[in-house]
Structure 1
Amino acid sequence: MNPVEIVVGLILVAVVLAAAAQRLRVPYPAALVLGGLALGFVPGLPHIQIPPAVAFLVFIPPLVYQVASRFGLRDLRHHRWPIFRLAVGLMLLNLICVAGAVRWADDGFSWAAAFVLAAVVGPTDTAAVAAVARGLPVPRRVERILEGESLFNDVVALVAYQQAVRAVATGTFSPGLTCLSLAWGAVGGIGVGLAAGALATWSRRRVSDPAVNTAASFLTPFAAYLGGEAVGASGVLATVAAGLFVGHVLLPTLPPTDRIQAVAFWDGTRFLLEGLAFVLIGFQLRAVLSEPVSASAWITCAVVCATTVAVRLVWTLAWNVPLFARRAAPDHVPRFRHAVLIGWAGMRGVDSLAAALALPLVTDDGVTPFPQRDLIALVAFSTILVTLVLQGLTLPILIRTLGLPPDDAERREDAVARLAAVAAALRRLDELESAHGGSADALGHLRAMYQFCLRQYQTGLDAPTGADPGDGLSALTRELLKAEREAVRTLWADGRIGDETRRRAEQALDHEELTFGA
């Protein structure tokens, strides 16, 4: 099989498994990883070897950029302390605890090799967290904190990874160099990312073709990532900074057609990359398990997985202890049930996969094998599998057990925004009518349409918590739009309109459906 056939086949597997997971109402990353694991042991299938540089470059920049561009700066400012405590404080604690646990479980590990393993399994994965949270009734505050953590904890983890690998390969370690690398990785990454975001904003505002504009958006994360790596800074942080800049400065000013097309493109791209990544994670276990695994190796895997999960739970719950809570503003302290959910939602994924694959085969002398390389890969894949499958599949059960109330904050904010917009349009309509007059039929039609929207959004705002906003006017609107679509399709089937006319009519109905929130 050639590479194109393999990629197409894996995408097909990802689509089928994701559809099955949706029907079963389970997070699809877990289904994809298990499917990839089963697929890896099918006789006759070729072994897929992913170059580490390719894994980093193909998956991480676009997936990180897509999440960052939708992660508002206001959310970042509002949740900055919980995100900082998880992305920096928890990451450092996890590095120390996992390295110590590895040394306790297997004395064949040096401290440097133990820190390599700890850095590999340390960062939560942006794609995994976003994919799991997207399909579950996770409170918005929790979802923003988890996504923010996964965007920023890569910086600490990758610097620790690079320094630990250097210590193993050369036999030397410099605390000063580590601190300098961390500082430059952050400062240089943010600078390069802001420059890439500014350049993307300047260029895309001068492109009038929506298709070209969308294609240009696809280049932005790669430019930021490669630029950050080229100057020795954090390419991941550069991508995050570029995404935040573009999402805050450019996207609100794009023409509606460009914005709708770009969002649809990135939604599809995100699914394709996530699907491939999660299937490949399961598929790679075939190579890791191709050799017999000793009982001591499985014990090390269990110890690392347990330590990783336990440290996260203890850290998140500690901020509800009064000793810690008194030092932070009440809004920055997660409620107990939210803290439990955050503690259990530490999924690992593509970052750990790429880091495990990127380990050198030999040390700097060119002869000595890299210590414990195969075992590090086995532990990394085991941790990915446990966190994605065990935690991913049990998150819905945990949410029901915790009894978290429905989070209608986004729905209510959406209703408030739309209500204010429609009210402003009606006021402007009154001003235009008194100043310039105009067609009575046109004014009457517009007034009726906006008054309909006003009643609809007011109904959504007045609905009790947990109520379905699709009831009432939205349900009626859906039925009317359905009848319109059937009429257009009948005309097309009878040959009375062409394909292009049908496409334009259905596109207009799509926009109308979005306008009325049906």
Structure 2
Amino acid sequence: MDGLGEIVALVAIAVIGTALARKLGLLAPIVLVIAGLGMSFLPFAPEVHLEPELVLVGILPPLLYVAAIEMSVPAFRYNLRPILLLAVGLVVFTAFTVGTVLHLLLPEVPYSLCVALGAVVAPPDAVAATAVARRIGLPRRLVTILEGESLVNDATALVMLRVSVAAATGAAVGFFDVAADVALAAGGGIAIGAAGALLIAFLHKQIKDPLIDTALSLLTPFLIVLPAEAVHSSGVVAVVVAGLYLGHRMPTLMSAASRLQTDGFWRIARFLLEGMVFLLVGLQLREIVRDLDEPWTEVVWVTAVVVLTLIVVRFVWVFPATYAARLVPRMRQRDPVPSASYPAVIGWAGMRGVVTLAAALALPETSEVEYPRELFVWLAFAVIVVTLVVQGATLPWYARRLKVPPDDPTQDTLAEAAIQNRASRAARDRLDELAEGAPPTTVERLRELADHRNNKAWERLGGGTETPSQAYGRLRREMIDAEREVFRTARDEGRIAEEVLRRAQRDLDLEESLLQRTTED
């Protein structure tokens, strides 16, 4: 019961912390990490030990999966070059640079283990990138690049970590060994992810029950990651590949009811998992500090140098990677040169998260080679806190100072209105094909509905006064409230059964949810 009580308490704190952050206009990941740091030294706070296996197989896959299914595949494909330059090139560059600097500071530690720590702290976190980038309203392309980087870079870092640790423990690691490891991790992950996605897609097509559809969606990341890890392939790559494919195909795989229910489920699951992840990171402080044996002067000096190296090396990589490819005229025509504010924001948006801590905790406790493992774990933890709290908290201000041009909402509205016009015309054409024999009043009502949807899209281009669609939504919501009250009163007076109320309430709730966008616009 104590264990269950602790879990409930942590979930409650995560929910309250997130709600407080939104109320104050702060970033929830930062508030929760700071809350965890403070709680870690309270005498009554639970001592939580974060198991690497739990993070890498239990927590990370669903978070990666829900991020992948929401990722635009065309946008991911269009930005594949900058994504791979960050997710592969920058991770390798960071691992060797940090490893070299750390080896200069601690020459008694084998170089391969220093590179292993570089691999641990190299990848920005998928959860942190998504939570921060979307919250502060960065341009869509920047968000796509940051999310794409964070979806793929964990695989690169974990392969480098595995190779570096193998080299440190005396295993023969040559070019062909590394190539085989990369091929198994990346190629195997892609193959398993693709095969699993095809199987899951087939099952979704056969399922008609929204509850079973949602349950299958919950199981999907685990059904993908477990076989991949069993054959020592990259579970991260497998889950991302499956998520991208299934998310792209979702409109044709599930019914409307299944999509609505599954979307609602994943929203609450991600909300709770993200909150718990950042809270748990902060709660590790007491245990990590307690295990440190090195003098604090050395700890502070090494920590400062490693964190500064991480921040600088990202800028050193991002600017040449952004502009060097555009020296080719053909590339420049395809993708115009962006303003310097774009790579500057990408350079500062290097928040680390729970994957870095899990990878550090997975460093081997081996007697074959002596190294300060507790110091390495501390360095990973310090990197997470500094990059998340300092960079994450200042990123909104930093983006505003650089005057990063936001996406033009008018362009989105124009595109939506144009496509809605075509969609309404297709709907009316289909109605004309099938209208024979239907009551004329019904046909006319459906034509009016198509016209209303078309007009609503164009009305959003206007501004200032309340549009007809907004007025309709506002007034209809008031009417729904009145209808709902009549049904509730009838239930209370015993004139209708509870089941009758629930059926009527479900219909009214569904209509009200459809009106939500109208009133928000």
Task: Give the structure-2-normalised TM-score.
Answer: 0.91
1:300 aligns with 2:293: no
Deviation at 1:410, TM superposition (A): 4.6
Q: Counterparts of 1:513 and 1:278 in 2: how far apart (Å)? A: 34
SS at the partner of 1:238?
Answer: helix
Equivalent residue number for residue 329 of structure 1: 332
The answer on whether the counterparts of 2:185 and 2:232 sit within 8 Å (CA) in structure 1 is yes
Letter in 1 for 2:296: S
- Note the C-alpha offset of 1:174: 3.0
What is the Cα deviation at residue 308 of structure 1? 1.1
Q: Distance in 2 between matches of 1:372 and 1:251?
A: 51
**Letter in structure 2 aligned against 1:240:** V
Write the mapping of 1:64-463 to structure 2, written as runs, cut at 5 A.
64-170=64-170, 172-291=172-291, 294-321=296-323, 323-327=324-328, 328-330=331-333, 331=335, 333-363=337-367, 365=368, 371-407=371-407, 408=409, 410-433=412-435, 436=436, 438-460=438-460, 462-463=461-462
SS of equivalent to 1:123: coil
Distance 2:412 2:312 in 1: 32
CA contact (8 A) 1:319 1:333 kept: no
CA-CA distance at 1:471 after TM superposition: 5.4
**1:486-507 CA distance string (max 9 Å, x none):** 1133113312554413432233
Structure 1 stretch displaced more, 36-45 or 247-256: 247-256
The partner residue of 2:489 within 491, 494, 498 is 494
Partners in 2 of 1:492 and 1:302 — Cα distance?
A: 64
Deviation at 1:80, TM superposition (A): 0.8
Q: CA deviation at 1:458?
A: 1.2
Deviations 1:450-508 (A, max 9, x none): 22221110122x35xxx79x952453233123213311331133125544134322333
- Asked if 1:503 corresponds to 2:505, the answer is yes
Cα distance in 1, alignment partners of residues 120 and 275 from structure 2? 21
User: 1:344 and 1:455 mapped to 2: Cα distance?
Assistant: 42
TM-superposed deviation, 1:514: 5.8
Aligned-residue sequence identity (percent) comes to 34
1:227–1:481 CA distance, 2 compared to 1 (3 A): farther
Number of aligned residues: 506
Distance 1:334 1:352, change over 3 A: farther
CA drift of 1:511 comes to 4.8
Q: How many angstroms apart in 2 are the aligned matches of 1:504 and 1:280?
A: 37
Q: Partner letter of residue 11 of structure 1?
A: V
Asked whether the 8 Å contact 2:477–2:515 carries over to 1, the reply is no
Q: 1:205 to 1:316 in 2, by over 3 A?
A: same
| AA aligned opposite 2:472 | T
- CA-CA distance at 1:145 after TM superposition: 0.6
Are the equivalent residues in 2 in contact too, given 1:103–1:111 (CA < 8 A)? yes
Rounded Cα–Cα distance in structure 2 between residues aligned with 1:260 and 1:312? 39
Note the C-alpha offset of 1:136: 1.4
Structure 1 distance, partners of 2:150, 2:419, is 29
Distance 1:385 1:477, change over 3 A: farther
Q: Give the distance between the partners of 1:104 and 1:506, measured in 2 at CA.
A: 67
Mean Cα displacement is larger for which, 115-124 or 289-298? 289-298
RMSD of aligned C-alpha atoms? 2.2
Return 5+ residue gaps in structure 2 as ranges: none
Residues 17, 31 of structure 1: 8 Å contact kept = yes
Contact kept, 8 Å, 2:120 with 2:359, in 1: the verdict is yes
Compared with structure 1, are the counterparts of its residues 184 and 32 closer, same or farther at alpha carbon in structure 2 (3 Å cutoff)?
A: same
For structure 1, which segment, 269-278 or 71-80, has the greater mean C-alpha deviation from structure 2 after superposition?
A: 71-80
Task: Name the SS of the counterpart of 1:301 in structure 2.
Answer: helix
CA offsets per residue over residues 76-108 of structure 1, 9 Å max, x none?
211111111111111111111111121223333
Contact kept, 8 Å, 2:470 with 2:519, in 1: the verdict is no
Q: Distance in 1 between matches of 2:349 and 2:55?
A: 24
- TM-score, normalised to structure 1, is 0.92
Unmatched 5+ residue regions in structure 1? none
**1:214 shift after superposition:** 0.4
